[in-house]
Chains A and B, each alone.
Chain A
């Protein structure tokens, strides 16, 4: 039996209604956990005053420089004594889950048991980067808790100016659209640069995300410094008999309105015999028609990935999307994945050496220009990297002939 509960009239209002309530969960924990009793006290205070009361600090485990998010309460009385002392330290431990967030019931129970023993009993499944987060640990309990998790075969995630935990869409495990082995790429890329995760020394964060196709279910384009997105370069697969079935069950109007006219490059046409014409040269692999007719249409056989770089959230120049630097790369062999690893290594190295403090890769590229960046990471320029060519003539172009010669050489 824990200490007496604080009155929480505001939080109590979040226990009604049909959606699952985290307040009910925290209250359940508070029945035998003083930390959660006091956490409710602090959270209720925030709800009342509309202010946050956590500050950071430095907490970690032996051997690592990151992965723990320290939180100390700022709600103190005149004598600097915490108003909610049992929740005065409320750190988060970030753990890297499996790619695709797969668990056995046994694994979920093991995490619950360890966390019941060492911490608050509150978990986040999962954070925006893709971490399993154990939320609410005292400074003293961080090390023994991590030791047990680590012994289960799980490692700390990233925090601070470091390589961060990555995430992957469900991909190969359960999706017919998947164009490469997302989990294999995810595991190899992170594990190759793990030192940059556990010993934060980059200018700022570096996030990888892996999506199997242009549907981009891991939000790679908008959230990742390096987005690895699946695509294919041969013809899309069309099962004309299945197309006819769709037309006969859904009707021509439905197919014209929802498939043909929605193609962003007008690469589709419905023939008079209800088969489909695909202008594969103009198909941009956007996935829409495949999403609508999953039985009839599929990505081609010659699959691979494209690499986008520079996605991030608002701080500091405004949100940016990743932009293409490599339009296609095969990663279905060991050599292919090694090539991706080499490229990623050059990108991370260049970032480490050239970004300013607290500058994300996309901001650095804005500052130095994409062409300079590409030269720095030894990636050839390619018209797929732009939407449109330059529109402003204020540029010095006295190296034109040399650049044309390079283009001819690359073409040869």
Chain B
């Protein structure tokens, strides 16, 4: 028997062979950019070279036939190169302005909607969901597909006050990250424990340590070592579920959706900010989650009408004040909006500032 092949530990590959020649030539030497039309960026280098980028939406989870279709568009219309954005959008680049229109047409014809530039709703940053995750409360690709069908025009047009980053997460770990609008699973009941399995499947001290509110303790149930949850303390976060699948947190009825607003990772104008709870209790209504779409559209419509140019969603809410956010969007304000987590006092109104 021959020795097994050991890997070439090459790490991060050299990018140069895969860089569009105009990008390689002007690497680090760019002067400015414009947006000549929706879905198109024009970057001008200090050398005077111009690169038009056509940006298009895709589904992040793609089959090889779709990937080959992208390769073919790159070959036929875009000099044989492509890049993907952080949010899984496609970016084809050309150096000849006359190639822009045929490239746009080719993308649209192949089913990749051109858009997602400037003040638009960008592609949703999402997770794996039922397709591949081991702890999902819902699906990701499907929820995003359903939502983007609804927000299609907001992706294609640049008529939002600023860009809108939507994220979605299939559990409260929030792998989708901070978003102008974050659509996240919110469990509402403590885990149901399968006591027959805990001893064989779970390392109990690890599970106890994982709980953020110290609600889990070792116990003997039906003569077997297991765990018990203090249901008064439990915040139904689901953190115990990944290390211990018998702590079943996902529930078809009680795992709901919550919507959060105002997350921003950039330091542009205001400092980065976390998204804030605005709505919850929305049903996990596959395959199209219409109740979630309704709330998202309501928030987007209010933002679009009321925010100033360049204001991100959280900056807008800060300016008009959260009471007005709830008033204008018509979303109910409940006791759950008042933070009682560690450091939550910092979110209270310690001032004489009230808008009337």
Contact = CB atoms under 8 A, between A and B. Distances in A.
A173 B17 CA distance: 13
Contacts of A99: 12, 15
Contact of A22 (B62, B82, B149): B62
B199 interface: no
Contact of B142 (A14, A25, A197, A214): A14
A53 B131 CA distance: 9
Interface string A289-318: 001101100100000000000000111111
A264 interface: yes
A28 B111 CA distance: 15
A156 B8 CA distance: 10
A52 B70 CA distance: 31
Contact of A47 (B72, B178, B287): B287
B18 A125 contact: no
Contacts of A176: 30-33, 43
B80 A105 contact: yes
A313 B11 contact: no
Nearest to A16: B149
A219 B177 contact: yes
A46 interface: yes
- Binding site secondary structure of chain B: loop
A121 B64 CA distance: 5
A154 interface: yes
Interface residues of A, number: 124
Contacts of A400: none
Nearest to A111: B67
A370 to B, nearest CB: 15
B278 interface: no
A284 to B, nearest CB: 8
B91 to A, nearest CB: 8
A29 B139 CA distance: 20
A79 B160 CA distance: 55
A284 B68 CA distance: 45
Interface string A160-199: 0000001101101111101001010011001100100110
Interface in B1-55: 4-15, 17-20, 23, 27-28, 30-34, 43, 51, 53
B63 A121 contact: yes
Interface in A258-307: 258, 262, 264, 284, 286-288, 291-292, 294-295, 298
A318 B265 CA distance: 16
A328 to B, nearest CB: 15
A40 to B, nearest CB: 10
A13 interface: yes
Interface stretch (A61-69, A371-379, A404-412): A61-69
A190 B12 contact: yes
Contacts of B15: 98-100, 102, 173, 183, 187
A122 B80 contact: no
A13 B8 CA distance: 44
Contact of A14 (B4, B83, B127, B145): B145
Interface string A302-345: 00000000000111111101000000000000000000000000
Interface string B64-104: 11111011101100001111111010000100000000000
B112 interface: yes
A234 B74 CA distance: 40
B164 interface: no
A115 B188 CA distance: 40
Interface of A: 10-11, 13-14, 16-23, 25-26, 28-29, 39, 43, 46-47, 49-56, 61-64, 69, 71, 90, 92, 96-109, 111-112, 115-116, 121-126, 128, 130, 135, 146-147, 150-151, 153-156, 166-167, 169-170, 172-176, 178, 181, 183, 186-187, 190-191, 194, 197-198, 214-223, 229, 257-258, 262, 264, 284, 286-288, 291-292, 294-295, 298, 313-319, 321, 357-358
Given A98-B13, A122-B64, A191-B12, 6 more contacts: A22-B59, A47-B139, A104-B17, A215-B266, A294-B33, A321-B272
17 contacts: A19-B113, A50-B284, A62-B6, A99-B12, A103-B83, A105-B70, A105-B80, A105-B82, A123-B61, A155-B11, A174-B51, A175-B43, A186-B12, A197-B11, A198-B9, A219-B177, A262-B310
